[in-house]
């Protein structure tokens, strides 16, 4: 027994020593470039499983969000390193330099997407987010036609109808609308718009709570549970779900099953439809023969891509709008400025037309500033396929050449860019007006950049700007007063209202607001 124990200890010591030598070799390969050193890497799968830090061992995956640009400021340079022991010593370079990010995203063959980190998103099948090379090109060519100006017009017009129905039917006759969380409104609106504009599926305010035949959960509830608890699904091994499920695990598993059934029904209904109406939505593009002789998507590829666009399309819009309303409630002067501008574009109070979207510059500015402050994704992984270098500058303007070894992971640090004082004056302040003049477009990355930039950006903007404009036109937004928070300072209220948590995308915890119907003549009387 003693011999076996000694042998085991000897082997463990040899492995530990080898791991240490590997760790030191990795640090030498980047010439000990400034950055963090930890036992466990905060990137990869661990980012989903363990968001919170363990002092001295694990910095936590949310450090990227909570520290924003501070780690770069401490190191004095906008590219920093992160080296850890486990799961294996490897180079991770975090990049908050817009010029370096532009080089990385435009040179795709040299810096491809690190798709292995997205494998966990293939719940229902391969998709455009978790793909690269020829597979990604196939998906992009198939999906791109759906995001035409013609379909974006449909998005705008359908959004107007859905929001008008909310005002005129659901909220009819009510002077005030009290919401414990603004997501109560932004979530269904975003889902209804996505359903009709992307998948041709009409959902009205009247039937949002109706459970259709052959289902035990509404489409809205299934999608909401899946998007809210996707991290639980990722983090829980299948054998635990099967043999030792908690009540919450059972609900999440059931929601995934329901959502899969809904998606299959949408696809089957469109495939077997006898209507000859020409459609331009996303689902139509997915079902067509591939362009340039490419084959049709398989059933699993259809499911995988429908799921990704359902998740990304509704969740990012709902969360961004929710936070926009919270910001406007906290800053009534910014809200009043936005209202006055909207009235100047449409003084008669009518619905704005799609052609007028570009004139709504204040709405766009508020929407963009929300995305700058609260980017849906806080990091984008790439990898280096060869030994190379990246160039940045330090705090004194000196050129810094950063070694980038083959197989290094590159993390495009979105909060690091969005809160970088070199590009954004007072970066922690809510200043929509910064987007009204010349602004640093390369330092604005909520939609990524380069060839893999978000295909649905205009779709997303049309929906969000239409909803924001319509709501501010008709209602004043205030923070809901709650007795337990009486006496809090503005900074305390701001922190509480704008608090976020980890999810598939950055998720607001609770944005309590009160909407008060505007007096249509109030602006004229105050002028």
Answer yes or no: are the C-beta atoms of 381 and 82 closer than 8 Å: no
**Signed CA dihedral, 369, 470, 227, 514: sign only:** positive
Please, where are the H alpha helices in 331-485? 332-345, 361-373, 414-418, 457-474
DSSP letter, residue 168? I
* Residues paired with residue 301 on neighbouring β-strands, in sequence order: none
Task: State how far the Cα of 201 lies from the Cα of 270, in Å rounded to an integer.
Answer: 10
Contact 59, 39 (CB under 8 A): no
Query: Cβ neighbours of residue 522 under 8 Å, at least 6 residues apart?
Result: none
Measured between alpha carbons, how far is residue 362 from residues 201, 408, 471 in Å?
32, 41, 14
Q: Let me know the angle formed at the C-alpha of 214 by 208 and 218, rounded to the nearest 5 degrees.
A: 20
| Nearest alpha-carbon partner for 406 in 386, 380, 430 | 386
Instruction: Return phi, psi of residue 399, to 5°.
Output: -70, 135
Q: Return the closest-CA partner of residue 259 out of 206, 296, 197, 314.
A: 314
What are φ and ψ of residue 272, in 5° steps? -100, 5
Alpha helices (H) along 124-229: 133-143, 149-165, 183-199, 219-228
Cα–Cα distance, 405 to 402 (Å, whole number): 10
Is 454 annotated as belonging to a binding site?
A: yes
Asked if residues 404 and 388 have their Cβ atoms less than 8 Å apart, the reply is yes
Contacts of residue 59, defined as CB under 8 A and 6 or more positions apart, other chains included, come to 36, 38, 42, 53, 82
Sort 92 into a burial class: Cβ within 10 Å, 0-12 / 13-18 / 19+.
buried
Q: Return binding residues.
A: 454
Binding region for heme = 454
């Amino acid at each position: 027994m003693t011999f076996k124990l000694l042998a085991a200890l000897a082997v463990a010591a040899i492995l530990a020593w080898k791991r240490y030598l590997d760790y030191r070799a990795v640090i030498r390969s980047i010439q000990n470039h400034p950055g963090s050193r930890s036992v466990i890497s905060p990137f990869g799968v661990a980012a989903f499983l363990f968001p919170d830090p363990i002092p001295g061992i694990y910095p936590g995956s949310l450090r990227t969000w909570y520290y924003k640009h501070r780690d770069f400021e401490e190191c004095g340079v906008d590219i920093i390193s992160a080296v850890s022991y486990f799961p294996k010593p490897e180079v991770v370079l975090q990049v908050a330099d817009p010029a370096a990010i532009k080089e990385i995203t435009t040179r795709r063959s040299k810096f491809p997407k690190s798709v292995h980190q997205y494998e966990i998103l293939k719940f229902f099948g391969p998709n455009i987010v978790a793909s690269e090379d020829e597979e990604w090109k196939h998906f992009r060519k198939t999906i791109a036609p759906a995001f035409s100006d013609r379909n974006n017009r449909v998005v705008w017009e359908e959004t107007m109808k859905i929001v008008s129905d909310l005002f005129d039917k659901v909220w009819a006759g009510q002077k005030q609308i009290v919401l414990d969380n603004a997501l109560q409104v932004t979530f269904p609106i975003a889902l209804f718009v996505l359903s009709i504009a992307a998948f041709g599926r009409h959902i009205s305010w009247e039937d949002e709570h109706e459970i259709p035949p052959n289902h035990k959960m509404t489409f809205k509830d299934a999608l909401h549970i899946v998007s809210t608890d996707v991290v639980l699904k990722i983090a829980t091994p299948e054998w635990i779900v099967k043999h030792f499920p908690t009540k919450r695990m059972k609900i999440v598993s059931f929601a995934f099953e329901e959502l899969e059934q809904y998606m299959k029904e949408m696809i089957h209904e469109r495939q077997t439809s006898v209507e000859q109406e020409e459609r331009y939505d996303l689902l139509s593009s997915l079902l067509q023969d591939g362009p340039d002789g490419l084959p049709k998507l398989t059933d699993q590829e259809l499911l995988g891509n429908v799921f990704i666009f359902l998740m990304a399309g509704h969740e990012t819009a709902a969360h961004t709008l929710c936070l926009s309303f919270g910001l406007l409630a906290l800053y009534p002067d910014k809200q009043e400025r936005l209202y006055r501008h909207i009235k100047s574009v449409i003084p008669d109070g009518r619905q704005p037309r799609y052609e007028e979207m570009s004139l709504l510059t204040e709405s766009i500015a508020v929407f963009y500033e929300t995305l700058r402050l609260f980017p849906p994704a806080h990091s984008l992984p790439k990898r280096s396929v060869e030994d190379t270098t990246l160039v940045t500058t330090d705090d004194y303007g000196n050129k810094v050449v950063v070694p980038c070894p083959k197989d290094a992971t590159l993390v495009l640090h979105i909060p690091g860019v969005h809160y970088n004082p070199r590009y954004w004056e007072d970066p922690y302040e809510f200043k929509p007006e910064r987007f009204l003049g010349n602004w640093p477009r390369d330092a604005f990355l909520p939609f990524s950049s380069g060839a893999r930039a978000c295909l649905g950006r205009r779709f997303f903007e049309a929906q969000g700007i239409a909803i924001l404009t319509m709501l501010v036109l008709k209602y004043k937004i205030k923070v809901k007063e709650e007795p337990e928070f009486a006496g809090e300072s503005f900074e305390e209220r701001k922190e509480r209202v704008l608090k976020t948590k980890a999810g598939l995308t950055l998720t607001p915890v609770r944005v309590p607001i009160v909407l008060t119907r505007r007096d249509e003549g109030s602006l004229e009387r105050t002028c």
